[in-house]
Structure 1
Amino acid sequence: MFRNWMKILLIAIPSLVTFATQTVTGTINLIMVGQLGFVIIAIVGVSNIIMYNAFAIFSGIGHTINYLVAQNFGSNDMRKGIQRTYMAMYLCLFFAVVLLAVGWLGANHILRWTGGSEELVRQGGFYLELRFYAMSFGIINFAFHGFLRGIGSTTMSMVVSLISNLLMIFLTYSLTFGNLGFPQMGLTGAGLAVLIGEALQLLICAYIFFFVLHKRYQTRSRIAFSFSWPEFKLLSQESGKLGLQEFSLSVSMFIFTVFVARLGDHALAANEVALNVMSFGFMPAFAFGATATILVGQSVGRGMALLGRRAGTDTAILGTIFIILLGTVELVFADQIAHLYSSDPGVYELAAFLIKVSAYLQIFDGLLNFYAGGLRGIGDTTFLMRISFFLSWFLFVPLAYLFIFVFHWGSLGAWIALYTFLTVFGTSVMLRFYRTDWTSVRLKEAAHV
């Protein structure tokens, strides 16, 4: 068992650092721009939710490449893995153009649809436009990282993430407030920092894939450019299912934010602060979930699915330990943490209360990610799509509306609805993982489509 846990940690820790870097970057940036006022905090919070929705639509491509390449790596058929990665990049490039157009033409309208104040829309329109431009690079980066995780190279993925996110922090500090000789650009500077950081990350990822990994995997070989309709169909269908899974969750979170926005800008800002702090709990959830996908997928590729089931269980145990430790820190220091984001009592007092409420409930979000990662590893994407769609629209959204507008429970009611949803979702995915007939699990092939 010790050897298995060490193997899991060697893969999970770099992934944890990667997600932690992204989370810490978002936290530091929010703290910095938060000094501009609670309206700016609300703008960044709403923009984050909108970007989460935009990302979710296309995230299935990266998730699909992650598990397919993991299976190809396990079966020692990386020629097919490279070919699938190229076709994923073609899809990403097309959708990147779509995101550019949406940001250019519709940023103000989308921000207005959230129901925020006119002041929020006026100050936040161009910032959201810049975030759309950054996301056009981000979906391509996510596919590259999916490939790196698929081959087990989580350390390389970590290094790329560290470089780009450190640049984002530096530019946010410099461009937002005019430090170190840079122009003072306010919220626009913060948006440019994200855009430049994502663009640099794309350049680094491309260099790694086309040059660093070429000698080992022949990433620039002619066969990689060959087009296979069955493989493209497989990639599109799997990406669509995983994208719909994420999109159902993200749209329901968007509606949740719209509901909270009706409670006022202070409530919206406090909600964003609490969600940002809770994102530290998402770090081990995402990291160990990605690790489960890698280990399960590679085991399936080797024809040893039952070992993948054991690896998925061990990964969930270790991830839960991390979340419990983190939740304890958040519970004890909730007031001090919330005060870092805002000096407005109406914001930090409510945010601290929400942090305390959810400190240990985030364990269920962990279970969702751990076992969903394992199910992705075996290609059980149809179930993930269906359960996400059903619970998002027939449990989460109705409960949020009921608790906020009918029972008038305010922000607490909103978060009770959120964690009821995550508890049911996480438990359902865990049960599916253990009720699967692992002796019948096979490598995902295009012929099966």
Structure 2
Amino acid sequence: MFKEWKKILWLAIPSIASFASSTLTGTINLILVGQLSSLAIAIVGVSNIIMYNAWALFSGIGHTTNYLVAQNYGSNNMKKAVERTYIAFYLSLAASAVILFVGLLFPEGIFKLLGSSTQMIEEGKSYLQFRFFAMIFSIFTFVFHGFLRGIGDTKTPMISTIIGGAFMVFLTYGLTYGKFALPEIGLIGAGIAFFTGEVVTFLICAYIYFIKLHPNFETRKKVTFDRSESKLIFAESSKLGIQEFSMAMAMFVFTAFVTRLGTDALAANEVALSVMSLGFMPAFAFGSTATILVGQEIGKGQPSLGKKAGTHTAILGCIFLLILGVIQFFFAEPIAKIYTDDVQVYKLAGELIMISAFLQLFDGLLNFYAGGLRGIGDTSFLLKISLLLGWLLFIPLSFVLTFLLDLGSIGAWISLYTYLTVFGISVMIRFYRTNWDLVKLKSVEKEYEADHVI
């Protein structure tokens, strides 16, 4: 068992560091920008939700690359893995065109759709525009990371994320407040910093993929259009993208509800979400590790070992979340004070953090076992359960608790963790009820959908 845990940690710890770097970067940026005003915190928070929706819609491209490359790596067919990665690049080009179009024309309209104040719209639209431009590079970076993690390289995504994040933080401080001989341009400077950080991360990954990996995997090659493979990757990317987008849109509506509670409530919500993103960090990392290990075992024709790897990954992930939850529960308000000295904001944020400190374990279960299901290609179930619970449970319950029962932000967060609890348990049950003897390698010749349930 300890040998298996060592292997899991060898993959997961760099991923934790990678997600931690990304999370820490976002946290530091929010703290830096937060010194401008509570309005600035709200603008960045709302923009984060908007961009999560934009990223989620196209994230399926990277997720699909990750699990297909993992399977191909396990089956020792890296030629197919590279071909599929190029198809993912082509899809990313199409996605970039859409993102550029929306970023140029619709930032102001999106803020209006959320019911934002006139002041928030005027001060936030330029910042949001730079975030859209940054998203173009992050879509490609996610594909690079998907390939690298698929072959078991979790260190390169970590390094690229840390370096890009360092650039982002440096420029955020410099351009927001006019430090390091840079111009003082406030919130717009923070947007430019975010864009620059994403470009740096992208360039590092492109260098590794096209230059460093070419001798081993022939990553610089002309890939002819394969209609069957393109259809497979588009279908898988669409299912995983819509699944993520469904969750993101549910959070979008959730944020719209909280926005109507006022600027202080929204600022507290964003501070709490920023703190709780520290819990998302190991959840995402161990979920990604589950995809890698399960996918590789499927490629080797050993599905039972894939199931075992997924279980061990979930156990280790839960241990990490329990330790983190204890810290967050007992230090909730002092942590919230780091973000703001507004008494109303940090007291409410502290209450929200305490609510979610241990309930985040269910968000962990969701990520761990969803990662395992991605590893076997069970994308249809993930799509269906995401749509069902997001729109028939989470959103109605949020409205009832927040407004009809007048519980405000507390009611909103109770509904959030009710949703995550049901979601996490549902995905876990699916993982163990799957007939693993029937799980096979995903291919265009015989596409397998894991609908065989005991």
Q: Do the two structures share a fold, i.e. TM-score over 0.5? A: yes
Residue 275 (structure 1) aligns with: 273
Aligned counterpart, 1:73: 73
Q: Look up the match of 1:237.
A: 235
- Who is 2:292 aligned against? 294
Which residue does 1:418 correspond to in 2? 416
Candidates 379, 389, 400, aligned match of 1:402? 400
The residue number in structure 1 matching 2:122 is 122
Q: Which residue of 1 aligns with 2:89?
A: 89
Structure 1 unaligned regions, length at least 5: none
**8 Å contact 1:67–1:293 — kept in the other structure?**
yes
> Which residue identity does 2:325 align to in structure 1?
G
Alignment-mate amino acid for residue 108 of structure 2 = N
Residue 27 (str. 1) matches residue 21 (str. 2)? no
Q: After TM superposition, give the deviation of residue 122 of structure 1 in Å.
A: 1.1
Deviation beyond 6 Å, 4+ runs, structure 1: none
Deviation at 1:119?
Answer: 1.0
How much does 1:448 deviate? 2.8
RMSD: 0.6
Deviation of 1:118 (Å) = 1.3
**d(CA) in 1 for partners of 2:254, 2:11:** 34
Q: 2:378 corresponds to which residue? A: 380
Determine the structure 2 residue equivalent to 1:153: 153
Give the % identical residues.
Answer: 58
Give the structure 1 partner of residue 451 of structure 2: none
Q: Deviations over 1:160-214 (max 9, x none)?
A: 1111011101111111111111110100000000101111111111111111000
After TM superposition, the score normalised by the length of structure 2 is 0.98
Superposed, 1:186-197 pairs within 5 Å as 186-197=186-197
One-letter code of the match for 1:332?
F
In structure 2, the residue corresponding to 1:360 is in which secondary structure? helix
CA distance in structure 2 between the partners assigned to 1:417 and 1:82 by the alignment: 42
User: Could you tell me which residue of structure 2 aligns to residue 16 of structure 1?
Assistant: 16
2:179 is matched with: 179
Alignment TM-score, normalising by the size of structure 1? 0.99
How far 1:239 moved relative to its partner? 0.3
Which string of whole-angstrom CA distances, capped at 9 and with x for unpartnered residues, describes residues 48-82 of structure 1?
00000000000000000000000000000000000
How many residue pairs align between the two structures?
447
CA distance in 2, matches of 1:239, 1:353: 38
Matched AA of 2:196: I
1:113, CA displacement in angstroms?
1.0
Q: Deviations over 1:367-421 (max 9, x none)?
A: 0000000000000000000000100000000000111111111000000000000
Counterpart residue type for residue 61 of structure 1: I
Aligned residue identity for 2:229: E
Instruction: Report SS of the residue matched to 1:236.
Output: helix
Question: In structure 2, what is the Cα distance between the partners aligned to 1:67 and 1:14?
Answer: 18
CA drift of 1:221 comes to 2.8
Match of 1:352 among 350, 353, 359: 350
Q: What CA distance in whole angstroms lies between the structure 1 residues aligned with 2:219 and 2:247?
A: 34
Kindly provide the CA deviation profile for residues 313-351 of structure 1, in whole angstroms up to 9, marking residues without a partner as x: 000000000001111111111111100111111111100
SS of match in other structure, 1:447: coil
Report Cα offsets for 1:243-267 as digits up to 9, x if no partner.
0110110000000000001100100
Asked if structure 2 preserves the Cα contact closer than 8 Å seen for 1:116 and 1:265, the reply is no
**Matched AA of 1:16:** I
